[in-house]
Amino acid sequence: MWQERKYIEKLKSFEINKVNYLKNSSINSLLIYPNSYYSGMSYLGFLQLYKFLNEEGITNCDRFFFEDWKDPITFDNYRYVSDFEVLLFSIPFEGDFENVIKILRDNNIEPNKNKRKRKPLIIGGGPSLWINPYPLKNVFDIFVLGEGEEKLRFVFNHFRKIINGDNNVPKMKGVLFELPMERKAILNEITFEKSCTHIPYTKIITKNSFFSNMFLLEIARGCINNCKFCTVSRLYHNKCFRDLDSIKKVLDEAKGFAKKVGLISSMVLEHPHIEDILQYCYDKELEVSTSSLSVKGLTNNIVKLLRMTNNKSITIALESLSSKTRKEINKDFTDLFFLEKIKMILENNIKTIKIYLILGLPYEKDDLKSQVSLWKQLLNLNTIFKANIHFSINPLIPQPYTPYYNLPMQSKKTIRSNYKWFKENFKGLKLKFEGINNSLKEYNYAYNTDDILEKM
Ligand code: SF4
């Protein structure tokens, strides 16, 4: 344990932690991120819940990350997982489902709820479970679907009744003790807070995260764009642009301890007050970084503001070099329109541009000539502006609840040959391809409803 503790102490020495821990709860709980410290500390959903549970006095909440440790202990108080009355798993990615089982087994906790004795109560939440909670149906005592804060308040308010098996526990939408037989019914259980004055944000920052030392806040929830391959518009059916005054208050708080803020959302540029938000950051001398941006929302003024707030790189979700494919998936704009936006970014002296693409979408190989021509123009701009335009390329993973639900997942061989096709036709800019095994795993857990315990 001493080795682990030493390592944790080192990580903690890099944290700036402004969470107000209210110690008025009798229930000790542990918030678990089923992957590394680095990725957990990059996930706003996890950080928001940790802040909320502790600051509202709902429960004394410790943190746990899944690291390759001989003697795993908790992050804040160096305790064992089995010491806690409640374990809360926050799971954004399906790929981490197996880690949930490993964590429980490593800590001598029976993963099968039907065989488990009373302690601890195990709760699961996070977007991966909204898509498909069924592989973990026999693991979690409670599933929390949708925004977790008020649902967890409800669970802790009724904690004693729940663990005593009292039949009089009232019901709350999105808090499920059993999963419905019909998968479609899950969608109706995913609920969100109505108020858009509620801003999820973090009060811990560290350099050991993807968003190194960045204060993260969510400025909008869900997405209005309805791209055909994407679950976001379908899962977050209660879309919301967070209120400007509330965002400003949170930014005032950020000013106290971070130099840089990360504006998190699937629709950063669609926010009706995005220019005001960026201007406010500039006035407060806060640097800005953002989630990936929509091509259509980029204006010269916004790019200027991004530059003024010291944004050195921009990420764009183009999805396909083919305009025919873009039209099919609901991202309908011409190559010329896209090239003008790239030029505009470069002219504003932002030289690093990351572009997301998906391979395996309909029509993508139909108009190779025009795609090669678009590529050549990008290459040209890259050379003229001495820029760093690079690509992140992922295979299409047909997702539940989307119009592509019934498309078969591409085989390993097809993904490999698509990657090869791309490399052969598009040369001269940096390409990064998503791991094939990870993608297949993600697809499997998004679709397959079999009990994970049967194969682990
Ligand atoms: S791909 Fe992006 S823009 Fe399209 S619906 Fe999903 S989150 Fe929105």
Domain 213-294 part of CATH 3.30.479.10: no
- 226 CA closest ligand 1 atom index: 5
Locate CATH 3.40.50 in the chain: 2-193
Q: How far is CA 450 from CA 135, 303, 355, 402, in A?
A: 5, 47, 35, 21
What's the pLDDT score for residue 104?
97
Please classify residue 13 by burial: count the beta carbons closer than 10 Å to its beta carbon, then call 0-12 exposed, 13-18 middle and 19+ buried: exposed
Locate CATH 3.30.750.200 in the chain: 312-456
Determine if ligand 1 sits within 6 Å of the CB of residue 226.
yes
Locate CATH 3.30.750.210 in the chain: 213-294
The values of phi and psi at residue 445, to 5°, are -80, -15
Cα gap 146→191, rounded to integer Å: 5
- Ligand 1 pocket, mutate which of 221, 225, 270 (most atoms under 8 A from CB): 225
pTM assigned to the model: 0.94
- DSSP state, 453? G
Q: How far is CA 22 from CA 63, 67, 204, 314, in A?
A: 16, 28, 16, 39
The values of phi and psi at residue 339, to 5°, are -65, -35
105 Cα to the center of ligand 1, angstroms:
37
Residue nearest to atom 7 of ligand 1 (CA): 266
- Ligand 1 pocket, mutate which of 131, 219, 221, 223 (most atoms under 8 A from CB): 223
Provide the greatest CA pair distance for the chain.
70
Cα gap 88→412, rounded to integer Å: 34
Please classify residue 311 by burial: count the beta carbons closer than 10 Å to its beta carbon, then call 0-12 exposed, 13-18 middle and 19+ buried: buried
What's the pLDDT score for residue 408?
92
Nearest to 217 by CA among 326, 290, 323, 110: 290
Question: 407 forms bridges with which residues in the sheet?
Answer: none
Q: How far is CA 249 from CA 283, 290, 451, in A?
A: 14, 19, 45
Residue nearest to atom 6 of ligand 1 (CA): 230
234 Cα to the center of ligand 1, angstroms:
10
Determine if ligand 1 sits within 6 Å of the CB of residue 162.
no
> Digits of tens for pLDDT over the chain (456 positions)?
789 999 999 999 999 999 999 877 789 999 999 999 999 999 999 999 999 999 999 999 999 999 998 899 999 999 999 999 999 999 999 999 999 999 999 999 999 999 998 689 999 999 999 999 999 999 999 999 999 999 999 999 999 999 988 889 999 999 999 999 988 899 999 999 888 899 999 999 999 999 999 999 999 999 999 999 999 999 998 899 999 999 999 999 998 889 999 999 999 999 999 999 999 999 999 999 999 999 999 999 999 999 999 999 999 999 999 999 999 999 999 999 999 999 999 999 999 999 999 999 999 999 899 999 999 999 999 999 999 999 999 999 999 999 998 899 999 999 999 999 999 999 999 999 999 999 999 999 998 999 999 988
Determine if ligand 1 sits within 6 Å of the CB of residue 230.
yes
- Which CATH number is 312-456 given? 3.30.750.200
- DSSP state, 135? G
- What is the SS3 assignment for 397? coil
Cα gap 46→19, rounded to integer Å: 14
For residues 94 and 445, is the Cβ–Cβ distance under 8 A?
Answer: yes
CATH fold of 2-193, please? Rossmann fold (3.40.50)
What's the pLDDT score for residue 194?
84
